Structure formats: C-alpha cells, structure tokens
Amino acid sequence: MIHFYELSSMSAEERTRLLRRVQIQIDELVERVRPILQDVRQRGDEALVEFTARFDRVQLTTDKLRVSRAEIEQAHQELDRSVREAIEQAIGNVRTFHARQMPHEQWFTEVAPGVIAGEKITPISSVGLYVPRGKGAFPSVMYMLATPASIAGVPRIVVCTPPGPNGEVDPATLVAADLCGVHELYRVGGAQAVAALAYGTASIARVHKITGPGSGFVTAAKRLLYGTVAVGLPAGPRESITLADASADPELIARDLLIEAEHGPDSSSLLVTDCRPLIEAVLALLPDKIAALPEWRQAFCRTVFEEAMGTGGIVLAATMDEAVDFVNEYAPEHLEVQVHEPFALLPQLKNAGEILIGRYTPFCTGNYCVGTNAVLPTGGFAHTYSCTSVVDFLKRTGIAYLTQEGYAALSETTRRWADFEGFPAHANAVTGRPV
C-alpha cells in the first residue's frame, strides 16, 4: 500500500513526521558520528585509512588518498565519448547560468554628501566539495559544485568522494572535476572526509568551507562541525514534491515521482494534489513503474512509498490553496509544478530549493543539465537557505570612506551614540579631531 495522506484528516503527529522526513534519523546519527570526527582530528590520515577499510571495504595507504594526475589523464582516455559529450554540454549550461550570478567585484554609493560606502567581493580562499557515491557515481554533483566555485575564482578547490570497490574514482567524475578546474581530489568519503576537510590531516590541508550533499552521516558530521568550519547549506537525502491539478498527465506524474525516490531508502517523494481522480490514476500506474526498475532501485522506491519508515506518498488537499500552503510549509528540495496555469501559481510558491515548471521539465533535467544548480537545501531548510550558487563561494567586505565634509557631518552623531552606549574611547576618537 502506497502511503496516502489527506490533509483535512491528518493528525498533528502525522503531519509533523511528514514535514520532518528523515531529519529524525539524522538526529539519531549525531552521537554515532561524533567519535569518528574526534578520531580523525587526533590521528589524521591513519584514521582515514582505517575508516575507509571499515565503511567502504577498501584498503588504502596514506600515499594513495589523493588521486594522481596520471589517474586523471587515464580517465580522459577511458571515458566513453558520448558520456564526455553529455558532461561537456551539461557543464556548458551550468557555467552559462552561474556566470550571470557573478556580482561586480567592487561597488560604492554616496549615502550622503562626502559619505561613501560600498562592498568588495572576493572568493573564499579554500573550499571542500563533498561528492557522494552510492552503488554508482555522481559526476553531475561534481560539476554542480565545482562550476560555481571555479567561476567565483576560489584559489583552492578540494574534492572528497568515496572510493569505488577497488579504490578507484570513476572516470566520469575525474573528467568532470578536471574540466571544472578542481585542484585536489581525494578518495575519502563519509563523516571522516568531512572531518579531514574541517580539521586537516598530513595529506589533506584544512579548508575554510565545506559544501555538498551526502548521507545522513555526512549531514550529521557537518552539523557537529558548525562553528569549526563553514558547512554550507544543509544538503542531505533527496526529496521532491510534485504539485499537480486535474490537468496533469497521470503517466508523467507516475514517472516523475520515481526520480528522487530511486536515490535511496531515505529519500522523500510526494504527489500533492487537489484531484482525487488523478491520485487514483497514478496509484494504478505506480506498481508497474516500480516493478520495471532494477531490483535494488525497486527496493528503494518501495521503502519510500510503502514501508513504515518511508516518507513518500500521495497527499490530497481539499483545494489548490491548501495544497500550496502545504508545499510552502514542507519547503521541498525539488518542486515540480504540473498545473493548468503554472506561471499564475508561481507567485504563491515561496519555499523550495528549485521550482521546475511544466510537463517538459521533469526533476531529472534539473538534476543534470538545465543549468540551475541541483545541490539544494533539504529537510525544510529551503525556508531559509538558497540553492547553491556562485555566491556560496564568495564573501563580501564592507568599505567606507569619509571626506572632510562627510566626517564633519557625522562626527557629532557618532559622539552622541558613543555617549549613549557608554563607550568613552569611541567618543574621544571624534572629539576635537582636526577637521
């Protein structure tokens, strides 16, 4: 039985659980992750090698943690031409979109006569990108992260990604990293990789910011390291909502519901609609759609849609306004809108990592090649966080300049504020200063 929820009859407990999705599981992982971080901090590379053997079942030596230039060159030779062309086209679209996000390097405005204020924009000096790996590889995540970092001009771009069964990093991921200008790449994954990037080891120098999606362990690690290193947006297990009305095609809805669900058992995928006949049609189609997938992807989808721990399913709203209110409360990572007049509804959609409009823009196009970034806030954090962009790899520094005229206009106001707040040194600095 696929999970079915009717908003008008849901209990407060059911609604809370649906809104929290896998965040409850991440809370439980924090204490399991804490000793991993402490061990990496104390023992560095030695701990990384041991955790890689334990969790990834790959035997490495410390000198093999970093991917060599020779491996990257070999990847260029081995990669299938059609895959390379797909990577190049996707990177081109992502680069074109993100290049438009670059702000002016420096700007000033005269806020009053002789009072000049502005900002200077500079890249973060070093960033760590986490690129996950499950049963396959995700070169798409590589270019979604590395492209905006490169456009921003980050001088040191470091990537950590789990090794494959034989300790390899797949050729597509290596080629994508190279095409995007990654400077260092390490075959280390999980919470231990996040710890290495945050604390530094003999092989991996620490970075100033870490970003990128990952498992619950990775998300828990970033949560614990907040304050030690900037950890970027909360990007955990995948989640999506398809918002649809009676005009939607059930066949397309059924297909699209499986896009994020097949990522893993901790994914969330919901259809939210005010149309019961659409629900009935989709429910009739989903079993065959799931059965047509490879067995291990089937298992993921069945967990998401059918098992007690799953956080996917169908949500029926009494009206489209109620459906939109639920979507805004949920704040999904990915939101697909298949309604009769999507652009009319767009102003009402406030909280989502991305919004994909119309029947020809399924989640997978956003994940790969539309150009918008697919590394997005999860767990409801789209209420406060934005999609990954060039801005994530930049910082702003305020600049001010007072002319003699501007100082004369502000010195007395400054003195009054200093006296009011009890800072005599502040006041003395503008008392009797030559004008």
12 vs 15, 45, 65, 319, CA distance in Å? 5, 47, 48, 19
Q: At what angle do helices 139-152 and 171-179 cross, to 10 degrees?
A: 10
Catalytic-residue membership of 333: yes
Structure tokens that stand for 84 in this block? 């390379």
Catalytic residue among 184, 239, 262, 333: 333
Pairing of strands 209-211, 126-130: parallel
Residue among 184, 239, 260, 334 flagged as catalytic: 334
Closest of 84, 384, 351, 393 to residue 212, by C-alpha: 393
334 is catalytic: yes
Identify the bridge partners of residue 128 per DSSP, sorted by sequence position: 158, 210
Q: How far apart are CA 127 and CA 393, in angstroms?
A: 8
Nearest to 165 by CA among 89, 82, 58: 58
SS3 category, 41: helix
- Bridge partners of 355, per DSSP, are 335
Q: Is the dihedral of CA 232, 234, 239, 243 positive or negative?
A: negative
Q: What is the DSSP string of 306-342?
A: TSTT---EEEE-SSHHHHHHHHHHH--SEEEEESSSH
Q: Which residues are catalytic?
A: 333-334
